[in-house]
A and B are shown apart, each in its own frame.
Chain A
Amino acid sequence: MRLAEAWRVAIDALRANRLRSVLTMLGVVIGVAAVVALVGIGTGTKGQIEQQVEGLGSNLLLVVPGRLEAGSAPAASTMDLDDVEAVARVVGDRDRVAATIASGETVRAGSRSAFASMQGVLENTPDVFVRKLDRGTYLSRTDVTTGRRVAVLGAGTATTLFGDRDPIGRQITIGGVRFRVIGTFERLGQSLGVDRDSEVHVPVTAAQRLLGTDRIDGLAIRAPDRERIGQLSTAVVKVLTDRHPDTDFSAVTQEQILGVLGDILGVLTGVLAAIAGISLLVGGVGVSNIMLVSVRERTKEIGLRKAVGARPRDIGVQFLLEAVLLTTIGGVLGMALGVTAALLVDRFSPVPAAVTWWSLALAFGVSAVVGIIFGVVPAQRAGRLDPVVALRTE
């Protein structure tokens, strides 16, 4: 039998049982749509987070005390500002080394208050971390050396405390101590679930006085070029270890952070795809089930076709095509539904979604393969029917 003829027969058979065909397809449609939409959400989320990490600035090296290992508690810092000077000598450029001491504090302005992350920093922070000011000025070298009580507000904190009013020059209190606002940051949005706009930057010296310590939490170094990061990392860790023999220090690059995040998000996307894949599998089982029913229902027809000369293969191909037709039509509809769902999620929810060609190709390929796999058993059963038995069936 010619293949064109087999297609015609398969299409006729599906048409003859329209409602059943549509319901069977629905299982595949939902499965494929789920794969496309969920992989889209996974990919979109991964892309957004990577973009944000990259937004921290390139060639960044973060140095913290303790070991960066899964399950190890963050170590108490023993670093101070002298260590910053030592590291700056290794780097060869003081402007490339930023220091931070951070603490969650309540910030007040008049009757309003906000909880913010107070960051005691050096004047070079906006250059190292690529932060842009919205208004006013940033901390100066003098502010840092003299421990002047001036503050730069994150966009969120500024809005909470001052609404639409211009905060520049106004008084606030951090942990009960008065500061004067000299600038505000541009809005950043959320990153990894952390609101990066609820920040207050103050001179590191002022923050140390407020917290009653001379420590700092960590260092960040902007390497002059990508190639030197590894070498710099080793040198910085060595100088710090020389100065603090009892403490471990870890240096991580942005690439390493990206790598770890990428792995986690890749696993997440894989899990989502696997869950969606299960629903596709269930859809495939539905196809198989319906095909078995179809074979049983049409036993007499199969017997007749065999009597007039259909070979087992002709009958098998006919039923296989029917199954493949069901799943590929379902696959195309599912792709359309999945893309639509992903676009709607991207547009109308905070969750980003990006439809990728590979997920479309995968979903379609899988649905076609599901049709073949789940169509084979019913098709073989149909092909092997004994014509005598089949003709006798009523």
Chain B
Amino acid sequence: MTAPAIVATDISRTYELDGVSVPALRGVSLTIEPTDYVAIVGTSGSGKSTLMHLLGGLDRPSGGTLLIGGRDVAGLGPAEMAKLRNETIGFVFQSFHLLARTTARDNVALPLVYRGVGRRERRARAAEMLERVGLAHRLDHRPNQMSGGEQQRVAIARALVTEPAVLLADEPTGNLDSATGQSVLALLESLNDDGVAVVLVTHDRDVAARARRRIVMKDGAIVPLAGEDA
């Protein structure tokens, strides 16, 4: 049994807005196993985005304990957090977040730049990843020369190139038509079969239904799944 990828114990997050404390997350406990395929669902304002930022190491909890890749984020500075993200997490965003004017290959290679991998090896590994997501023929295309589905596949390749423990996808199908969305989800599922934990944040019930495990968020806390088909 391998160690869990992420362990959150009673984590909370409170924002200070004009001197007023606004709790966005109150006491969430959650464990992501290395083979998990989890969907986090909830309406906007439910705290699911805040939870994703915390799980991805983009933010740190105001209270509770959060272990990412076995490391407690409480004592880490911005540079160490950056390193942790680079080594442990792969992000997939709703709006892809690809660098314009940059080829698919260089977009995918970007995380390796910050890992200090040499240019030649970066390019080779990026090409390998693009092949894995079915874009071997699009290496030197720029984002504006590709369809939305292709762009999201480039983003997934970029998330995978560092061989992360967890792939965090924030509404990955939100900007895609349903057929393309289905193929992107199929890709995520096949990656999960290959041993990457996938955490999917979505408000789409159909998307959530395909996950092996579902976590429903409401008012900054996890709703117990008593009535649902768990």
Q: Check A311–B114 contact: CB distance below 8 A.
A: yes
Segment at the B interface, from A45-53, A165-173, A190-198, A302-310: A302-310
4 shortest interchain CB distances as A-B pairs: A309-B86, A309-B114, A308-B111, A311-B79
Q: Check B85–A307 contact: CB distance below 8 A.
A: yes
Query: Which of chain B's residues have a CB closer than 8 A to the CB of A2?
Result: 113, 116
CB distance from A153 to the nearest CB of B (A): 76
A260 in contact (CB, < 8 A):
no
Across the interface, B58 reaches (CB within 8 A) one of A5, A12, A305, A388, namely A388
A387 in contact (CB, < 8 A):
yes
Query: Which of chain B's residues have a CB closer than 8 A to the CB of A301?
Result: 99
B158 in contact (CB, < 8 A):
yes
- What count of chain A residues pass the 8 Å CB interface test? 23
Q: Check A305–B114 contact: CB distance below 8 A.
A: yes
Query: Which of chain A's residues have a CB closer than 8 A to the CB of B114?
Result: 1, 305, 308-311, 314
CB distance from B191 to the nearest CB of A (A): 17
Q: Check B99–A304 contact: CB distance below 8 A.
A: yes
A313 in contact (CB, < 8 A):
yes
Across the interface, B93 reaches (CB within 8 A) one of A5, A386, A391, namely A391
Q: Check A308–B78 contact: CB distance below 8 A.
A: no
Q: Check A5–B97 contact: CB distance below 8 A.
A: no
CB distance from B175 to the nearest CB of A (A): 13
What residues of chain A have their CB less than 8 Å away from a CB belonging to chain B?
Answer: 1-2, 5, 12, 16, 300-301, 303-314, 386-388, 391
Closest to A304 in B: B97
B56 in contact (CB, < 8 A):
yes
Q: Check B158–A308 contact: CB distance below 8 A.
A: yes
Q: Check B82–A310 contact: CB distance below 8 A.
A: yes
B110 in contact (CB, < 8 A):
yes
Closest to B82 in A: A311
Q: Check A308–B110 contact: CB distance below 8 A.
A: yes
B132 in contact (CB, < 8 A):
no
CB distance from A385 to the nearest CB of B (A): 10
Query: Which of chain A's residues have a CB closer than 8 A to the CB of B91?
Result: 307-308
Closest to A310 in B: B114
B137 in contact (CB, < 8 A):
no
B210 in contact (CB, < 8 A):
no
1/0 contact trace for B146-171 toward A, CB 8 Å? 00000000000010001000000000
Query: Which of chain A's residues have a CB closer than 8 A to the CB of B86?
Result: 308-309
